[in-house]
Amino acid sequence: MASGKYQRWLTAEGLGCVEAWARDGLSDEQLAKKMGCSPSTLYDWYRKHPEISEAATRGRSGAREQIENALMQKACGYTKTVKEPMKVRQRFWNPKTMHMEEREEVVLADKEIHIPPDPRAAQFWLINRNRDRWAEHPAPPDSEAGDKVTVICDV
């Protein structure tokens, strides 16, 4: 690897690329490949040039926060406004023909719909946020010395 190759990634454009790739979900190994270096070189650049590490962290934190918010919203349920097509019929008197006439048109109307909470999303969130209380198979609590039971078999 030629010395000074990292300098390309210290520019505003280079740091923007690193941040965007991290936001897209690339791992450090994939970032290194995009940057034309080995993962060990990338880790070395992270230590020597914190700007590169900060750009990757910024990219990942934005995506992580967006996903966490979406998961929380799905776990709790939400109400959302959607546009729904609706057929509207108008009746009016036509003075020229001296008859009642009808006209139909399709308009988009706002409609609120409720998305109910998703129990699987809530379970996922709880297990990952508070594993001690919500894990499916929690670790047994530490028992004190006085709680031990000794079984003696006399044969």
Is residue 155 assigned to a domain? Answer: no
pLDDT digits (tens, 9 = 90+) for 91-146: 999 899 888 999 999 999 999 999 999 999 988 888 888 888 887 776 666 655 55
Residue 106 resides in a domain: no
Residue 92 maps to a domain = no
The verdict on residue 59 lying in a domain is yes
- The domain total for the chain is 1
Phi, psi of 51, deg, nearest 5: -60, -40
**Residue that is written with structure tokens 């690897």 in the block:** 1
Answer yes or no: is 128 within a domain.
Answer: no
Q: Has residue 2 been placed in a domain?
A: yes
- The pLDDT assigned to 155 comes to 59
**Residue 131 dihedral angles phi and psi, to the nearest 5°:** -60, -35
Structural domain harbouring 62: 1-77
- The Cα 74–Cα 27 span in angstroms is 26
Instruction: Give the H/E segment covering residue 32.
Output: helix 28-35
Is residue 154 a part of any domain in this protein?
no
CB atoms within 10 A of CB 68: 12
Q: Is the pTM of this model over 0.85?
A: no
Which amino acid is residue 132, in one-letter code?
D
Percentage of the chain with pLDDT > 70? 86
Q: Is residue 61 part of a domain?
A: yes
